[in-house]
Amino acid sequence: MIPHFPMASILDRISNWCAKITIVLVVGLAIVLVLCILISIFFRYVVGYALSWPEELSMLLFAWLVILAGSLGVREGFHVRLTVFVDWLPPALRKGLDRLITIIITLFGIVLVYAGQDLVTRTAGHLSATIEYPIVLLYYPALVCGALILLHGLSHLFNPGQEESTR
């Protein structure tokens, strides 16, 4: 068992605060995404003129929406998992396996931060085809998600018992 560090509760509060902001962002992005799709449908089928910008904006919004929601899955423990074999394990092994999975997820967050930073660096200065927004906005979600996964994973690791309460 990892000892409880004084900074662990601060880490958990930061993780919780970031999760609340992420929820608000995900809801907002979903609303704007639906509006973009409705505008696209209206212009294509009612007006008879297909707009190109709603599709490109929808792709950007969808990337942020999915990635941010995925990072919430780490905090709240709502990712899909198979528990058939895990349920057969004794509680101590189950807890150890859960801790190992959290460590692997946290390491994945580090990889995402590194890869996301590389993508952002390599695409700096490029613009999207239609709206001409900086294309790095399409790759920043990997960097942000990696940082959030790292934060939420560390919070789980340094606050024993939190993962059982959220899963």
> What pLDDT, in 10s, does the model give residues 35-94?
999 999 999 999 999 998 999 999 999 999 999 999 999 998 887 677 777 788 898 998
For the chain, the distance separating the N- and C-terminal CA atoms, rounded to the nearest angstrom, is: 19
Q: Is the pLDDT of residue 158 over 50?
A: yes
Q: Where are the domains of the chain?
A: 6-77+86-166
For the segment 21-45, the average pLDDT, to the nearest whole number, is 96
Q: What's the rounded Cα separation, in Å, for the pair 137 and 35?
A: 20
> What pLDDT, in 10s, does the model give residues 116-150?
999 999 999 999 988 999 999 999 999 999 999 99
